[in-house]
Structure 1
């Protein structure tokens, strides 16, 4: 197998590979994958190889670093398959392995055009178009051939944007034990299924995900989909965020478009659990609309449409400030383009346990005074946590 290793080192480490197929199983089984394909992908300016393992009823993707890719191809050819073909910029290489393990490498003229990853936006996606993904097909985002349905392309982009934000925080989380994740107000659960697929099928993490929603028909539908896809550690429960007490330890809390103070209720739960990560896209922040007052800003506050937008920004700013006081590093990020929805701010918070942030506490007091804010829902719910600081 040394000849294969030498060839792979040359074409993969020099970024010459365009596409690859490994096939012809040594032993045909009932449950294993029957073919593996590889192609380069650009993820956050880093070239990796995406492996697609094709089973009879599903496909699984893995994005591997180049050195890991070389090891994986070598393993597949050594243990699983008898044939591989790799298309490169300079030549096509066919690898044949006899029953006795003899390796024969045939070199032919190149037949595929080179890929310019820097100008192909879809190559930066964690989930890519062109290969069917089970949950996306089941939810109507993709066809069975892996093509994104035209009307669902915004949803496809939203899913990938969300996974990019998850990818940034996963390395900071403890993954030695099972990660417990809750999605409050999960709705039809496109992003919940995406989160499960990414963490389990791509990152191979041990996780437990619960989706919670007030709509019983949605919960029934989502549980059926999870069952159909064999997403065994994903379940959906009918219930209210404020009343949920079904678990003692949660590592990540997700809340997307939970209306008004439902977002605050989810943040309160996350803080009380000591969750390592919070991902929240607020929606319909009404609480502050009739509470913010500032004589100097009256020209803005006297117009309903301006006041509504301003109250939303003030609400999210205060939420971020509270999270900082209680030991979180907080970022407010653009979730998706403003042209698709005005509800496009995502609060991403990661726990640092630094609860001595005098600057954050000072900003919070001045901020409330500036806007004349009193009797806040989140402040009352977190009274025991905040009393020692403010």
Structure 2
């Protein structure tokens, strides 16, 4: 097999090869130098209606190195092993005739080849990083969920035309990465299946940073069939984000004008509501619960409902006479009740610190993942009653909504 010399990241802009040839050359080089980790072909546009993606990994068959292709269909998987030279020819024939997205991961580089509807290609190359060899048991490969080379980051102003981070967007970049990291862990433990379409809704999507990132991770990084909706009250933001989605040719991504209290989607598998003010968080959680969402992610803000109701127990009055402490206590009680109510509705729930949003110093997140096993909510409901009685709380918005539905 002839070996094309490795292509350095710095030389890519001046190479005479086109994007597709560069990608195939780097694939061949990674196989020849034994740095290949995996290849994913997604965005299938061929003639087999149930084929979704192809995953390829390196195997040895009868002492000969081969690429093992796993053809992922909606209801089954088919595996085919090909010698390396045949495998490269096969991949070349599939791009872009059958697949519009190819993701190559090696020990030194990460490449993303994307084709538009008219087969115009774009190649995005991640910075070279030293990854641990998979054979080193004591070393673990660092998980990277998002790269600066992703095209939506440039369109949203997070990176410049050279895919370099804009200094003023460093905080936003950190938030986006942490959000995807948290979501990825939640997805891995959720009952959602890769062979089924996934419907996600992001309430209060704003400029769409996290909405675009979620869509990109689901469809491009994981190759899943995902429909992602950003719901926002400000119509100018909706128009701005839809224009960006159209410019980037992002199928399955749509922004809509609406409010969490009135929005009624057909299906929600993933419900996100960051910086939902006061009881808007309760309405978002309620929508996620009654939609039987597998993943619910909320970042509460402006805890106003519980604080006026709270009667400081005698033992706590010396602490809670200070307004800042009373406010912090009210936030803790409000979100603890929310988490316990989610548990009572069949979710495994965590409350933890997140990266604060740019327009608020609030940094708490409530993450709920649907359990597969049934639970008895009686003990949890007793704990909720105990907390309310201790503080003299008469009502909680989420609890009232769930009672109205007959879920409690």
TM-score computed with the length of structure 2 as normaliser: 0.68
Distance 1:335 1:66, change over 3 A: farther
Tell me the secondary structure at the aligned position of residue 162 of structure 1. helix
- Aligned equivalent of 2:88: 77
How far did residue 65 of structure 1 move?
A: 8.8
- Aligned equivalent of 2:101: none
Q: 1:187 aligns with which of 198, 202, 206?
A: 206
Distance 1:48 1:351, change over 3 A: farther
Q: Deviations over 1:149-182 (max 9, x none)?
A: 1111111111111111111122331233211111
The answer on 1:150 being equivalent to 2:167 is yes
The correspondence of residues 177-216 of structure 1 with structure 2, limited to 5 A, is 177-216=196-235
Alignment length (residue pairs): 324
CA contact (8 A) 1:333 1:345 kept: yes
CA contact (8 A) 2:294 2:370 kept: yes
The answer on 1:291 being equivalent to 2:317 is no
Aligned counterparts of 2:333 and 2:107: Cα–Cα separation in 1: 54
Q: Deviations over 1:168-227 (max 9, x none)?
A: 122331233211111111111100000000001110100111111111111111111111
TM-score computed with the length of structure 1 as normaliser: 0.71
The answer on 1:259 being equivalent to 2:277 is yes
Distance 1:248 1:87, change over 3 A: closer
Q: Deviations over 1:278-302 (max 9, x none)?
A: 0111111211121222222222322
- Aligned equivalent of 1:105: none
- Aligned equivalent of 1:125: 144
Structure 2 gaps, min length 5: 42-52, 60-65, 70-82, 94-104, 109-127, 134-140
How far did residue 124 of structure 1 move?
A: 4.1
Structure 1 gaps, min length 5: 5-16, 41-46, 54-61, 90-112
Aligned counterparts of 2:405 and 2:255: Cα–Cα separation in 1: 30
- Aligned equivalent of 2:397: 377
How far did residue 34 of structure 1 move?
A: 4.1
Aligned-pair RMSD on alpha carbons?
A: 4.1
Aligned counterparts of 1:343 and 1:293: Cα–Cα separation in 2: 24
Tell me the secondary structure at the aligned position of residue 315 of structure 1. helix
- Aligned equivalent of 1:33: 20
Aligned counterparts of 1:206 and 1:140: Cα–Cα separation in 2: 27
Aligned counterparts of 2:336 and 2:347: Cα–Cα separation in 1: 14
Tell me the secondary structure at the aligned position of residue 290 of structure 1. helix
Q: Deviations over 1:70-126 (max 9, x none)?
A: 6589476334569xxx9999xxxxxxxxxxxxxxxxxxxxxxx993769xxx96431
Aligned counterparts of 1:243 and 1:125: Cα–Cα separation in 2: 37
The answer on 1:236 being equivalent to 2:255 is yes
Segment drifting more, 147-156 vs 71-80: 71-80
Aligned counterparts of 1:343 and 1:287: Cα–Cα separation in 2: 17
How far did residue 385 of structure 1 move?
A: 4.7
